[in-house]
Structure 1
């Protein structure tokens, strides 16, 4: 069978399956000469619309059906939204993985957790290195971000060079890792760039994103003013921030503790690659209580209010480490869109304990890892692409970035969406097709469609409650006992008695009125009972609970 989407030798295609129209879940494909190359394979996190779901990722069905033509996955850096789905989805491709040394260290630990460390081999590309991967030549350009070894990827084919930026900023003092290789970007621009696929996260932010060195100076001042135990919430992957906090602690005669497994795993990966090797030894959570409160500073996971994270459990009093009145919690991280409610809950839980909450609205305790408008403008001036394709943003970010690219004199700019197949060459950039693109949710240990009936039903249950009932009828459909009814999530047991009795009567009446021709059909009996119960509850309480009736025929 001929594949209508097989890339031709005379064309270069771009296809996002995740990360275009959302922040997170990055999955981008490039197609040329019959083959596909994937850049990044990341996750996002569930929200209140998906009860019981912690992890969400792109649905890779399009490319898993073409796994024989997938020549490899290149990972731009080690953030979860760029590598987090690899352990869950790699078995669908079983293709080579390519990463720099630090990213490879982080990924190996993730693969080991699912037993794939021996099967999923990672090929190391050194910083500023290059590699031939199928019909693509891949080159790395060092950038700065909030994690070591972030890279832009240059993809070269016969149609020219494409720059895929990944996540980046222009930080003159990143503190951990190298500064942006501006010379390489300018050389690339001088040689001509067909297209730039670029981070859109902070396109609405004027000026620059700020330097990690500024955060260090500010935290040094803020922690110096605090008298009791201090907890600082930050992303485990922000190793420059971890180093900053460790040095701030030492400067103020505090021991620094790591609270959260992901922090320890990230520290191990960093030290394997020569980062953070000259810091004082970190304290474990089990030893925190042995130090005076004024002599301890804790780095905690959970700045986004994740339910099972260290900081959330501390705020609820469910963790061996405690914060109490007079202590302080500093949030040295940004609010990821969609996490506002969980973060506010966390702040309030801490405040109820008398803990002082300090955020970037109060002090300069965080800078973004993504480019603001001045940095975007500088990148466009250096690279000078013919085509701009903004990604890594919600729809409004991408639309604004398209307008901004045009202001920067980019001749062509398109707004990608997940599933939008875009031909970059030959000719003007154009949308040539749309392919299926969705999301998968990790439901316990099983991957399911994020819009599956089960998850939609679970969402309805969480909002509407449940009426459960059973009826016992004979072969002719005559009730042999009063209907049994119970509620879940509708009203307290003490108040439910009268409502249940009324619903029992409504069900009995509905079955008496059911035509004889339908009484022998269990489905008809169940539906008549279900409608009677649900209609009464809706009429009386203006709610539409999920209603389930079980028919027992004897």
Structure 2
């Protein structure tokens, strides 16, 4: 549930404003809230100093809280076209359609937001238009990665280009604030094209229905499955409001290939089993999502039977293992086969985040004075800092939510300088 604040000369810039799902509000809570975000009270109490909000990309953990929280900030939002389309749809759901000033920016564009100059740099991830950015002030320049990986053959968008990042080495980057999600993994993350090949190899052998559970925001995976359907003579349907909304936004902004048709999910029941490929929500065992309804045999548009295959084309997010395992037991009790990424050598899921090899490359290209790992649990942050040290970054600052990093004129961390709690936006 990302929410980052950069401060200089009495002004603040927020980068990302996201949510998390099925989380406790307090660590001691037994019950979980359905949607949770970071407590913004520190900045909402001084909102006149908030110059603007920048959104790096359209994943829920980076943009999902903004419709709920914007009334507390009432400042402009800066992002690119696809993310802006997703955000507008979310704002319409909470009665803010047309009320939030959204400024669309393009790759390599620089925008002055108060005392901050922000420049957008394209990279690769699992959603259209993911961006890193530099944040420049009179006393230093920060490089904020957002979510990223090195993917030379992505399904959507251009392949990763290292040139713009190597060029930053000449710009005296003071600090690199970097994604730590896969910092415990050696090597490099696989490409979305590798995932397409793995899914194709698996699905073309199947003789019955195939249902794929994945994250609705992974547009690259949805396009890959559309290509798989086309290559295997199946009809592709999406079941789940968030899936259809995401594809609609991709169409509007030119990110969905025109040669990949979709059928209405209501038509699935009339097709032979071997012609069905359905993509559904609920890969994390969410009780109200489509996969849970299919497991309980009360799906609206589709039923699955013995010997059909359910593929989990998503990671097991830590904390969701019990829910996922319960879902799988339900399917298996009905003799419906399931397949998770760790159960096969075929690539049926790839991460959108950098492993240690990619982190090392980026640190060596950027050559920052300071590494600030973010976006991970404490062990991920520590592992990211270790990579930075091995990549000859002079200083590594590892902190926790609520810590204040002073980067100029001297460098230090004020521990727990800001109250950093959680808010429940929706409860079960």
Q: TM-score, normalised by structure 2?
A: 0.96
- Helix, strand or coil at the partner of 2:269: helix
| Equivalent in 20, 28, 39 of residue 4 of structure 2 | 28
> What are the superposed Cα offsets for residues 241-282 of structure 1, whole Å, 9 maximum, x if unpaired?
101101111111100010111011001111111111323321
Name 2:193's counterpart in structure 1. 213
Q: Does 1:283 align with 2:228?
A: no
Counterparts of 1:374 and 1:368, CA distance in 2 = 14
Shift of residue 47, structure 1, vs aligned partner: 4.1
Q: Does 1:103 align with 2:79?
A: no
Between the two proteins, the alignment pairs up a number of residues equal to 421
Counterparts of 1:29 and 1:324, CA distance in 2 = 50
> What are the superposed Cα offsets for residues 411-465 of structure 1, whole Å, 9 maximum, x if unpaired?
11111211111101112343376111100012449xxxxxxxxxxxxxxxxxxxx
| Equivalent in 425, 428, 436 of residue 411 of structure 2 | 428
What aligned pairs does 1:291-370 form with structure 2 within 5 A after superposition? 291-320=271-300, 321-361=302-342, 362=344, 363-370=346-353
Shift of residue 341, structure 1, vs aligned partner: 1.0
- Helix, strand or coil at the partner of 1:267: helix
RMSD (Å) for aligned C-alpha atoms: 1.4
Q: Does 1:138 align with 2:118?
A: yes
Counterparts of 2:18 and 2:324, CA distance in 1 = 22
Q: Does 1:118 align with 2:98?
A: yes
More off after superposition, 41-50 vs 221-230: 41-50
Name 1:462's counterpart in structure 2. none
- Helix, strand or coil at the partner of 2:369: strand
Q: Unpaired runs of 5+ in structure 1?
A: 1-24, 446-554
- Helix, strand or coil at the partner of 2:33: coil
What aligned pairs does 1:161-240 form with structure 2 within 5 A after superposition? 161-240=141-220
Larger radius of gyration: 1
More off after superposition, 59-68 vs 113-122: 113-122
Q: Does 1:87 align with 2:67?
A: yes
Shift of residue 326, structure 1, vs aligned partner: 1.1
Counterparts of 1:52 and 1:377, CA distance in 2 = 37
Is the CA contact (8 Å cut-off) linking 2:23 and 2:36 kept in structure 1? no
Counterparts of 2:396 and 2:89, CA distance in 1 = 39
Counterparts of 2:166 and 2:329, CA distance in 1 = 48
> What are the superposed Cα offsets for residues 209-230 of structure 1, whole Å, 9 maximum, x if unpaired?
1111111111111001111000
Counterparts of 1:115 and 1:179, CA distance in 2 = 38
| Equivalent in 359, 362, 373 of residue 379 of structure 1 | 362
Counterparts of 2:47 and 2:120, CA distance in 1 = 24
What aligned pairs does 1:397-408 form with structure 2 within 5 A after superposition? 397-408=380-391
Taking CA–CA contacts closer than 8 Å with sequence separation of 6 or more, which of the two structures ends up with the larger relative contact order? 2
Q: TM-score, normalised by structure 1?
A: 0.74
Shift of residue 351, structure 1, vs aligned partner: 1.2
